């Protein structure tokens, strides 16, 4: 799955659409209601970003306040409401969608990154009156974000109101906060390291930093540390929670409904206990810190909670983020296993697609169809139903669900045909999708959450005749992907050093993909994880530029995107491993975890160097060797053909 996030917004979108039926300007009305409060309380501007209390990438419906007020459903956007005007800031992926969704709301669209368009601080610097008041929910703005805003608006001497939720008085029928039960990971078979041991490592970092306490609101950090998982965010097995660690104990703050019978003894054994999620702020405010310092990551801890702590702070990038990025031996053994099973699922899906495409070509049909008989996908008649992006995704998800210890998808499957694949964040829906035809290319980016890990994989396949450009760009993408997979590098390198290995294939053609080449992946956690990242660009200010280490996993997913024509992405997940130690240093390399065939119909051997052709052949052979045992006889015979040397 690509770095661009794809949110499961279907529910919200539905409810907003329904409301719109009866009342044309529901969003304008809601903003009016907010303005009334603002006038009453002397607030000049309300800033409403999309975020939860935990700096999560995906947020539960409860937190979709920005959508509630604006009607805009994209994954990235900030609403700014003034007494006389309102604006929504979003990026290029959403300009068309936002324009449509904002219609009639009176909200002005600010196209981020376009020439002459001010960003939010610039806008505020101009519009906020001297000594004016800016409000935002201080639980969803980080310590660092608030500090930056303060610095940028210094000239206006603005007052910040941070203890209010703009939707509180207005959003009737707001979805509840999710409260799934928390479960404990088997420490030996699944986690590979006890919570006790992880806590010790954290406390060593606290000692080093001279801190007596560590606080965190990062959900995946907390889950990882305590070897627990939750069910509060779709596709992310995390529980809404906070963490407070001292030198010899810790508290996990949870909603009551989440606490399970085996959780308490598990935490107790590690020296901790459960407290109430709702009373975390009060706890922070009233705790007696003595002269101990409190360590926190200012990029994720909220400014309101930060302000509640009456003690000296030590700001540092989360040590838990760095720890959990390096998978341990148990995790690696499980990952290797579940990636092969996940790869087999996708391979079987590709076999299905291929057979339906071949049938359509044979029969001269304009569209691919669903078969009557799944056992006989290549010859059987069809149900009469067209195969489309959405039904294809459902079918893949169904195959994946059969894998033992499957928990849920790791993100909504991206199933994109033809020009739709040029949109990195595309999501087909039950009502809005393209039908598959026996020509051109189809891209599928998908993954699962298993007890044995989190997967993510993309393949692009030909469904019939393709153009020379498609073949050339697939071949380039493949070479780029393979080049990174075969990287060898000295310990000390970061993703900024490595990125060009993949990207230079595109740059030589005057092309570029507008995202990183790769991201870290959690272990039964978020599909996007830091701190490592494969990208040539500098990390955001305050973010670490993480050194690659053995045990890290990263995606390797270059792509060729041609607007309104097609999109190609090949994504294989790589495990960073030690290669050798020589007098010149310690060298690392990658081992692929993903084994799904590449599409030989889309490869132009004549533009590859012999070394690259060998790499492709070796990989295809390895795919056959590892995946064949999971296939039926027919599937196996097909895979044999698909993976023969070029």
State the nearest-atom distance from the C-beta of 111 to its own copies, in Å: 17
Q: Please give the residues from 314 up to 373 whose contact with its own copies meets the rule CB under 8 A.
A: none
Residue 35 binds its own copies (CB under 8 A): no
Q: How many CB atoms lie within 10 A of CB 522?
A: 24
Residue 609 binds its own copies (CB under 8 A): yes
Asked if residue 304 has a cis previous peptide bond (ω within 30° of 0), the answer is: no
State the nearest-atom distance from the C-beta of 613 to its own copies, in Å: 10
For residue 604, count CB atoms less than 10 angstroms from its CB and return exposed for 0-12, middle for 13-18, buried for 19 or more: middle
Cα–Cα distance, 77 to 58 (Å, whole number) = 13
DSSP SS3 for 68? helix
Residue 499 binds its own copies (CB under 8 A): yes
State the nearest-atom distance from the C-beta of 93 to its own copies, in Å: 16
- The DSSP-derived string for 156-224 is GT-EEE-S--TTTTT-TTPPPPP-PPPEEPPIIIIISS-HHHHHHHHHHHHHHTT-SEEEE--HHHHHH
Residue 617 binds its own copies (CB under 8 A): no
Binding piece for its own copies, criterion CB under 8 A, among 324-332, 381-389, 446-454, 498-506: 498-506
Provide Rg for the chain, Cα atoms: 26
Binding piece for its own copies, criterion CB under 8 A, among 88-96, 316-324, 358-366, 490-498: 490-498
Cα–Cα distance, 268 to 417 (Å, whole number) = 51
State the nearest-atom distance from the C-beta of 584 to its own copies, in Å: 4
DSSP SS3 for 325? helix
For residue 570, count CB atoms less than 10 angstroms from its CB and return exposed for 0-12, middle for 13-18, buried for 19 or more: buried
Binding piece for its own copies, criterion CB under 8 A, among 128-136, 202-210, 249-257, 493-501: 493-501
State the nearest-atom distance from the C-beta of 322 to its own copies, in Å: 17
Given a contact cutoff of 8 angstroms between Cβ atoms, the answer to whether 584 and 592 are in contact is no
Interacting residues of 129 by C-beta distance below 8 A, sequence separation 6+: 44, 156
Strands 159-161 and 133-135: parallel
Q: Please give the residues from 233 up to 252 whose contact with its own copies meets the rule CB under 8 A.
A: none
Candidates 106, 121, 465, 492: give the one binding its own copies (CB under 8 A).
Answer: 492
Query: For its own copies, which is the closer residue by CB, 95 or 630?
Result: 95
State the nearest-atom distance from the C-beta of 585 to its own copies, in Å: 6
Binding piece for its own copies, criterion CB under 8 A, among 243-251, 276-284, 384-392, 581-589: 581-589
State the nearest-atom distance from the C-beta of 510 to its own copies, in Å: 4
The one-character DSSP state at 543 is S
CA 310 remoteness from chain centre: 34
Binding piece for its own copies, criterion CB under 8 A, among 43-51, 244-252, 373-381, 488-496: 488-496
DSSP SS3 for 504? helix
Q: Tell me which residue has tokens 């599409």.
A: 599
State the nearest-atom distance from the C-beta of 522 to its own copies, in Å: 27
Residue 487 binds its own copies (CB under 8 A): yes
Q: Please give the residues from 507 up to 566 whose contact with its own copies meets the rule CB under 8 A.
A: 507-508, 510-512, 514, 536-538, 545
Candidates 108, 196, 383, 490: give the one binding its own copies (CB under 8 A).
Answer: 490
Candidates 134, 501, 548, 568: give the one binding its own copies (CB under 8 A).
Answer: 501
State the nearest-atom distance from the C-beta of 512 to its own copies, in Å: 4
- The DSSP-derived string for 272-320 is EEEEEGGGHHHHHHH---TT--EEE-TTTSBHHHHHH--S-EEE---HH
Binding piece for its own copies, criterion CB under 8 A, among 67-75, 359-367, 505-513, 523-531: 505-513
Q: Please give the residues from 104 up to 143 whose contact with its own copies meets the rule CB under 8 A.
A: none
Q: What angle do CA 32, 33, 38 make, to 5 degrees?
A: 90
Which whole-number Å values give the CA distances from 430 to 2, 14, 415, 418, in the listed order?
22, 12, 12, 18
Binding piece for its own copies, criterion CB under 8 A, among 14-22, 243-251, 568-576, 577-585: 577-585
Candidates 131, 157, 286, 611: give the one binding its own copies (CB under 8 A).
Answer: 611
Query: For its own copies, which is the closer residue by CB, 95 or 283?
Result: 95
Query: For its own copies, which is the closer residue by CB, 376 or 537?
Result: 537
Query: For its own copies, which is the closer residue by CB, 159 or 496?
Result: 496
Residues that bind its own copies (CB under 8 A): 487-490, 492-493, 496-501, 504, 506-508, 510-512, 514, 536-538, 545, 579-580, 582, 584-585, 587, 609-611
């Amino acid at each position: 799955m690509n770095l661009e996030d794809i949110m499961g917004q279907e529910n919200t979108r539905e409810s907003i659409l329904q409301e719109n039926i009866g009342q044309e300007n529901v969003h304008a009305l809601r903003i009016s209601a907010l303005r009334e409060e603002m006038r009453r309380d002397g607030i000049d501007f309300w800033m409403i970003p999309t975020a939860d209390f935990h700096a999560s990438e995906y947020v539960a419906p409860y937190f979709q306040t920005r959508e509630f007020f604006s009607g805009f459903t994209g994954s990235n956007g900030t609403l700014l409401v003034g007494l006389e005007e309102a604006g929504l800031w979003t990026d290029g992926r959403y300009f068309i969608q936002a324009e449509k969704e904002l219609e009639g709301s009176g909200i002005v669209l600010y196209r981020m990154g376009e020439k002459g368009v001010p960003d939010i601080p610039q806008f505020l610097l101009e519009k906020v009156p001297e000594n004016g008041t800016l409000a935002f929910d201080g639980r969803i703005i980080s310590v660092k974000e608030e500090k930056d805003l303060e610095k940028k608006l210094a000239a206006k001497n603005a007052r910040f109101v941070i203890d209010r939720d703009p939707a509180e008085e207005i959003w009737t029928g707001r979805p509840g906060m999710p409260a799934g039960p928390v479960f404990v990971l088997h420490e030996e078979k699944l986690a590979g390291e006890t919570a006790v041991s992880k806590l010790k490592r954290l406390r060593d970092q606290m000692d080093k930093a001279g801190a007596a306490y560590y606080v965190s609101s990062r959900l995946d950090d907390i889950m990882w540390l305590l070897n627990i998982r939750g069910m509060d965010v779709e596709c992310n097995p995390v529980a809404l929670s906070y963490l407070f660690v001292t030198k010899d104990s810790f508290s996990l703050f949870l909603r009551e409904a989440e606490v399970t019978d085996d959780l308490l003894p598990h935490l107790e054994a590690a020296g901790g206990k459960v407290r109430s999620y709702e009373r975390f702020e009060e706890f922070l405010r009233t705790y007696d810190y003595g002269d101990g310092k409190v360590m926190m990551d200012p990029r994720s801890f909220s400014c309101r909670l930060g302000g509640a702590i009456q003690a000296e702070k030590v700001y540092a990038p989360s040590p838990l983020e760095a720890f959990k990025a390096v998978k341990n031996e148990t995790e690696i053994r499980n990952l290797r296993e579940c990636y092969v099973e996940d790869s087999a699922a996708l391979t079987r899906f590709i076999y299905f697609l291929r057979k339906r495409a071949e049938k359509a070509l044979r029969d001269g049909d304009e569209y691919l169809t669903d078969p009557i008989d799944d056992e006989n996908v290549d010859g059987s008649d069809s149900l009469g139903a067209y195969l489309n992006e959405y039904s294809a995704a459902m079918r893949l998800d169904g195959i994946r669900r059969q894998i033992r210890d499957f928990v849920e998808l790791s993100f909504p499957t991206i199933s994109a045909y033809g020009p739709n694949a040029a949109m990195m964040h595309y999501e087909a829906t039950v009502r809005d999708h393209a039908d598959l035809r026996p020509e051109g290319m189809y891209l599928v980016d998908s993954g699962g959450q298993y007890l044995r890990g989190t997967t993510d994989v993309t393949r692009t396949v030909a469904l019939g005749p393709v153009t020379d450009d498609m073949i050339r760009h697939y071949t380039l993408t493949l070479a780029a992907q393979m080049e990174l997979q075969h990287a060898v590098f000295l310990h000390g390198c970061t993703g900024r050093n490595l990125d060009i290995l993949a990207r230079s294939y595109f740059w030589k053609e005057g092309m570029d993909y507008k995202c990183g080449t790769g991201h870290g992946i959690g272990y039964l956690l978020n599909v996007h994880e830091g701190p490592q990242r494969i990208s040539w660009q500098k990390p955001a200010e305050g973010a670490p530029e993480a050194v690659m280490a053995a045990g890290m996993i990263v995606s390797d997913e270059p792509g060729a995107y041609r607007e309104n024509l097609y999109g190609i992405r090949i994504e294989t997940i790589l495990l960073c491993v030690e290669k050798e130690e020589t007098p010149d240093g310690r060298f690392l390399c990658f081992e692929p975890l993903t084994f799904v065939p590449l599409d030989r119909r889309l490869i132009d051997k004549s533009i590859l160097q012999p070394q690259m052709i060998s790499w492709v052949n070796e990989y295809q052979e390895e795919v056959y060797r590892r995946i064949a045992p999971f296939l039926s006889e027919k599937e196996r015979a097909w895979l044999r053909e698909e993976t023969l040397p070029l």
